[in-house]
Structure 1
């Protein structure tokens, strides 16, 4: 019954086109034109963060300074997706050296928490909430690593917009208020939650002015005393004390020992464009694997929104995600065959499993040699660009709010499996599998596009769809993000869950019923979901005219703006 109800919703919503008027230019589904500017551009999921980034750029800050400022503001104004209790990844285009740099600022598990603890407690998986899934927050260290390498302005200046908004308040936006309320209903009775995140006994509503003086104090400590304040000083002491009080394992020693890692981005070429992702422990290379399979087809000829295209995309995604479930993990603990996974030859081998006429119920992982989030992007007048993603996981995170610090710790450790011998099995001092991935595109050795799509397992799927929309279907930067999206759910997960029924193809409104019917005839189970398709930000550089194009989408409260 549920399946037919979902199909009914899909049929109805897929046939609706709710617009105020037809657009005179571009695709009808576009929410607006691209933003175009010469000197700098910022695109984030909340307008105040975008404006903070532009303010930093106008003060002479680099794109990296502006990105840190925006991220700090987002941790305050959008705590439903990120904050200094979480992790960070970034790809930076350095205009001076004409090179890409990758930063993995994800934290590790507590050294004192062993796999045997979960076995002793009779657990078959790591809980989603509470102290057990908490790993070291890598965000703040990530800021200082980025700043040390690429920053221009003092951190006191960079963090000042977030400190000012935290102390004096800001109006909460619509979608963020919605998610804030959902979290508050679930977490309002947890220690320190109401005192930190609720006003007058409820989550702030759209337009309410919200203040977080506790976070203002914490950010001031970080601005004045540097990363040591967080990982060794007063903040570390309070985290340690609170974790002991709630039966957790994360300690001051774990915080002190934390380090980020500069890594080399990896790429594949898709129809003349070099697409760059970070290697595991993130899932970015899944996007490269999918692109390598799709490149073997004439996607443009299939047409956007066609059953043939959607089927091919979904089947390619299934193949890549089986490898994701088996191989993606912390490379410090495993020999991960990244080069082979993203090779064209391997894509040809995997493509042999793709049936163009029938949906696969299950697919095997490859046989190889041993082996709710925010996204933002900023570009500056010197040509530097940064693609940055940061998250607490599961929206606001674990529910653990240490003392009076004004932020929540992440629960990223939930993504470990407890299956011994698995690449992603829980181990002390190990980084978990990560869903958050920034992306970058170059063409002929020059920067072309910095972009990302938020949303758990949707992210590689979103990356691929954005690029296919632009490269194969000829959409502009804004249209590529606004176009109706596809999300396949059900592939095997890094936590050990296995796909056995083919999963569900979820389609946004805008896909016509004839397409849905054709997909069903191929054996797909098609559903409708009102959310979960991610949130997109992007900046594109036009090297001929020397201008930036910016885009942000209507699924979030965000804004792209330049000057």
Structure 2
């Protein structure tokens, strides 16, 4: 429980329903949907569509979506893979012949077919009561009438100014007056509003076929892309079962590959071998063990995880408790494990939304355009900011995550769901590119090993061991930083904090919900 002597956030409590998002306006939109009779899924889609307008650096209809849904908090958990594919013409030989050895992140080659819009429709069809025609109205109003830029969004906009100056149509659409907006500015996007209206009227067909798709393809092909109208028309959402592991008597669930949730599950399998409670929550030992677990899990992911049609090892084998034994047994508390350097192709950002309604339908929902402001490519006439998720591919023949025709890239976005004896206990997620598996592990172990509530668990200082360097937030004490350096960690400070997070915990005995939202973003938890 927080000390009220110091600045901080209280947990949010409610009986009926709750949402946690990265923007207060989106949280309010979700609550209004549920008050009007909508389900958790209806609320998540409305909030996400709105975030695609008011938090444009992180998400939008030009991106991808993953979700975990559990009806009434006790039913079968369903995983939705709304990630898009590379163009059918994307043969690795094409890139190698042109001496392209990694996907340029602001090129048309980084744009995979956006999967979010189709995923929204499919999830609503299965678990919603309202349609896109109603749920997109808050987003349409924000784009058409204008929205006020929030503080964290202005921070990111300023940091991406040079990228946007050099993008395709980005000066026109995203740099009003030739400069990034500041907090308090009002932004309008009439072309995007028109596109959202078309989707509200005609559903995904308005996005994947017809004038909107034609404009996206024309834009991409005009700057060297291989995309065709057929690539967009052929897109579908995949409905699967989640993958999971047990930690502290709780089952932790993730979407299967090409999502990277498996990485977080491997981290838990490693950390369960250690008694974290022996060490302080912000200590050299705890941060060292978390980094070593991450280094092992991320290495396994980069070697093996990809579009499941191209993986050479099955997920069950990786999740077997003994899979990482050869590395676990070498972990030492006084030195850094000697491992190959892992360099993932990208480190993007995203938005995460968690919603639980009065019937206890649970929705863990994540939507992203990959890097901040995606590919920095906006379609010519329709205002769609396109993701650069195909930047997650490798151009490396023989690698399971090598770019290929109509192939899905290894992703970074992961919604999580925690159950106890089959019943939902917590829906949560942590945003922040490659940080997400570490962030989810950090938040969960803060709660289960250190007794934090959901807000304290989210607030706790963070670190990410990435490309051989331990990136540490300013909240990590100097003594801990020095201790990590003494045992061999190279450390660095961060310009922006690591990710953001949202969580809702269900107390079935009391009939209440407890939510938390990350102070690293602009958002909040809100319930009624």
**TM-score bracket for this pair, using the shorter chain length:** over 0.9
The reply on whether 1:528 has 2:493 as its aligned counterpart is: yes
- Quote the RMSD (CA, aligned, Å): 1.7
The reply on whether 1:508 has 2:485 as its aligned counterpart is: no
Is contact 1:53-1:70 (8 Å) kept?
yes
| Counterpart pick for 2:117 among 140, 143, 147 | 140
What is the distance in 2 between the residues matched to 1:427 and 1:71? 30
| Counterpart pick for 1:229 among 193, 200, 206 | 206
Q: 1:562 to 1:248 in 2, by over 3 A?
A: same
Equivalence map 1:455-494=2 (5 Å):
455-490=432-467
| Counterpart pick for 1:362 among 339, 343, 350 | 339
The reply on whether 1:444 has 2:421 as its aligned counterpart is: yes
What is the distance in 1 between the residues matched to 2:4 and 2:286? 19
Write out per-residue CA displacement over residues 517-557 of structure 1, whole angstroms, 9 at most, x where no aligned residue: 32222111222224241101111111111111111111111
Q: Specify every segment of 5 or more residues in structure 2 that has no aligned partner in the other structure, as ranges.
A: 343-348
What is the distance in 1 between the residues matched to 2:216 and 2:495? 37
Equivalence map 1:252-267=2 (5 Å):
252-267=229-244
2:263 matched residue in structure 1: 286
The reply on whether 1:41 has 2:18 as its aligned counterpart is: yes
1:183 matched residue in structure 2: 160
SS, match of residue 506 in structure 1: strand
Which moved further from structure 2: 381-390 or 356-365? Answer: 356-365
1:60 matched residue in structure 2: 37
| Offset of residue 25 of structure 1 | 4.3
Equivalence map 1:268-417=2 (5 Å):
268-363=245-340, 372-417=349-394
| Offset of residue 443 of structure 1 | 1.2
Could you tell me the TM-score, scaled by structure 1's length? 0.90
SS, match of residue 404 in structure 2: coil
Write out per-residue CA displacement over residues 226-253 of structure 1, whole angstroms, 9 at most, x where no aligned residue: 1111111221121122222222111110
Which moved further from structure 2: 385-394 or 178-187? Answer: 178-187
What is the distance in 1 between the residues matched to 2:73 and 2:267? 32
1:559 matched residue in structure 2: 524
What is the distance in 1 between the residues matched to 2:179 and 2:430? 30
1:497 matched residue in structure 2: none
The reply on whether 1:168 has 2:145 as its aligned counterpart is: yes
1:8 matched residue in structure 2: none
Write out per-residue CA displacement over residues 361-415 of structure 1, whole angstroms, 9 at most, x where no aligned residue: 42599xxxxxx21111111111011111111111111122112212211111111
SS, match of residue 121 in structure 2: helix
Is contact 2:473-2:497 (8 Å) kept?
no
2:221 matched residue in structure 1: 244
What is the distance in 1 between the residues matched to 2:476 and 2:178? 42
2:346 matched residue in structure 1: none
Moved over 6 A (4+): 27-30
| Counterpart pick for 2:80 among 98, 103, 109 | 103
Is contact 1:64-1:150 (8 Å) kept?
yes
What is the distance in 2 between the residues matched to 1:355 and 1:139? 43
| Offset of residue 561 of structure 1 | 0.6
Q: 1:364 to 1:120 in 2, by over 3 A?
A: closer
Is contact 1:30-1:478 (8 Å) kept?
no
| Offset of residue 308 of structure 1 | 1.4
Q: Specify every segment of 5 or more residues in structure 1 that has no aligned partner in the other structure, as ranges.
A: 1-23, 366-371, 491-502
| Offset of residue 97 of structure 1 | 6.1
What is the distance in 2 between the residues matched to 1:489 and 1:211? 37
What is the distance in 2 between the residues matched to 1:187 and 1:431? 26
Is contact 2:51-2:60 (8 Å) kept?
yes
1:550 matched residue in structure 2: 515
Is contact 2:241-2:255 (8 Å) kept?
yes
Q: 1:283 to 1:184 in 2, by over 3 A?
A: same
Is contact 1:69-1:158 (8 Å) kept?
yes
Is contact 1:455-1:532 (8 Å) kept?
no
Could you tell me the TM-score, scaled by structure 2's length? 0.95
Q: 1:511 to 1:431 in 2, by over 3 A?
A: same
What is the distance in 2 between the residues matched to 1:337 and 1:384? 31
